Amino acid sequence: MSRIAYFGPQGTFTEQAARRLAPGEELIPAETIPAALAAVRSGTADAACVPIENSVEGAVTATLDSLSEAEPLVAVAEALLPVHFSVLTRPGTTEIHTVASHPHALAQVRHWVEANLPGARPVATSSTAAAAVAVDAGEFDAAVTAPVAVEHYPLQVLATEVADVRDAKTRFLLVRAPGELPGPTGADRTSIVAAATNRTGALAELLTELAVRGINLTKLDARPTRNNFGEYRFFIDFEGHVAEPRIGDALAALRRRCRNVRFLGSHPRADNGTTEIEPGAANEDFTDAIGWVESVRKGAQA
C-alpha cells in the first residue's frame, strides 16, 4: 500500500481529492502544502496530493513555490473537484459572531456569509479543516469546510452546498519523485517552471516557442524568485505530453532560451479536453521534418 501525504488535517477538500486520485491507499495528513511535498522528498510518503489552482481565487502560490524549490517533483495525475462548502457549528450554538476558514474558502462564501450571518467576523485559518478543529475547541463559532469534515469532527451542519459561484472548481495534483511518467493519451497537460532573464521581451520569447509549434497554453503564472527584486519564475501549463515530438521540440527550445527550466510533469487532463492541433503542427509533421533534415545531411534531396 502506498503512502499519500495530503494538505490536511483530516476533512479538507484535498483529502477528498486524494481519495479520488489514490483510492485505497494510506492517506497521511500534513499541516501545510510544503510539508506534504517535503514528505515525498524525504521518502516518508510515496506521493502527495496538493491543490494547484482554483477557478475563483486563481493559483495556489504555496504549491507553485514549493514545486519550484528543493529537489524536483513531478505531477503524474490531476483531479478537478467542484467546490461547495458546508458551514459547521458546535451543537447548541445559537449565535455566530466569528466564521473561520482558509482565506480561499472565505473569499468564495463572502456574499453568503454577509446575507446569512450578518455581523459575523471572518477569521483566516491554515486550512478549512483547521477551522473545524478550532470551532470544536471553542475558539470560533462557525467553520466553512469541505463537506467531508463533518465525518471527522463532532460538529453539526448549519448549511451545506454553500458557494457564491456555483460552478467553482479546484484542481489538485498527485505528485511523486521523478521516474516513469504516465503515457500520452491525446488529452494531456505538461507543466514547467522557467526562470527567464530579466529583460525586455523575455516572456514573449518563451510563449513564442509554444505558439510557433501550435501548442495551446492553458495556464500562466508568475512568482518572484526571492533572490533579486524584479526577477520572476514563470509557471506554464500547456496541452500535450513530453513524449510527443512537438512537445519535446518546444521544451528543448525553452531550455536553450532560459537559464533554468524545471519539468513539473505530463499527465492526463482531468477535464478530458481533446487537444486541438493546428495544420502543420502535428507530431507526424515534426517527425517528417526531422527525417528530411537527416536525409539532407546524408546527401539526399527530396
Kindly state whether residues 144 and 42 are assigned to the same domain.
no
- From 179, 212, 244, give the residue that closes a domain: 179
Kindly state whether residues 93 and 232 are assigned to the same domain.
no
- From 179, 210, 243, give the residue that closes a domain: 179
What is the per-residue pLDDT across 245-262, written as a single tens digit (0 to 9) for each?
A: 999 999 999 998 887 899
Mean pLDDT value across the chain: 91
Question: All 3 cell numbers of residue 72?
Answer: 524536483
Q: Domain holding 18: CATH number?
A: 3.40.190.10
Kindly state whether residues 184 and 252 are assigned to the same domain.
yes
Kindly state whether residues 12 and 54 are assigned to the same domain.
yes
Instruction: Report the sign of the C-alpha dihedral through residues 26, 32, 38, 42, in that order.
Output: negative
Kindly state whether residues 144 and 48 are assigned to the same domain.
no
Q: Domain holding 238: CATH number?
A: 3.30.70.260
Q: How many domains does the chain have?
A: 3
- Given pLDDT bands bounded at 50, 70 and 90, which one contains residue 302? low
Kindly state whether residues 39 and 175 are assigned to the same domain.
yes
Residues 14, 140: Cα–Cα separation, whole Å: 23
Yes or no: say if 223 and 65 are a contact pair by the CB < 8 Å rule: yes
Question: All 3 cell numbers of residue 224?
Answer: 518572484
The residues that bridge with 27 in the sheet, in sequence order, are 4
Q: Which pairs with CB-CB distance under 8 Å and at least 24 residues apart come from 260-263?
A: 260/194, 260/195, 261/192, 261/193, 261/194, 261/195, 262/67, 262/68, 262/72, 262/192, 262/193, 262/194, 263/72, 263/74, 263/191, 263/192
What is the per-residue pLDDT across 287-301, written as a single tens digit (0 to 9) for each?
A: 888 888 888 888 876
Domain containing 158 equals: 84-162
Kindly state whether residues 188 and 273 are assigned to the same domain.
yes
What is the per-residue pLDDT across 13-32, written as a single tens digit (0 to 9) for each?
A: 999 999 999 999 999 999 99
Kindly state whether residues 95 and 120 are assigned to the same domain.
yes
Predicted pLDDT at 301: 67
Q: Helices (H), strands (E): how many in the chain?
A: 9, 15
- From 147, 179, 211, give the residue that closes a domain: 179
Kindly state whether residues 175 and 302 are assigned to the same domain.
no
Kindly state whether residues 49 and 105 are assigned to the same domain.
no
pLDDT winner (highest mean) among 116-125, 191-200, 283-292: 116-125
Kindly state whether residues 76 and 117 are assigned to the same domain.
no
Question: All 3 cell numbers of residue 267?
Answer: 499527465
Kindly state whether residues 24 and 147 are assigned to the same domain.
no
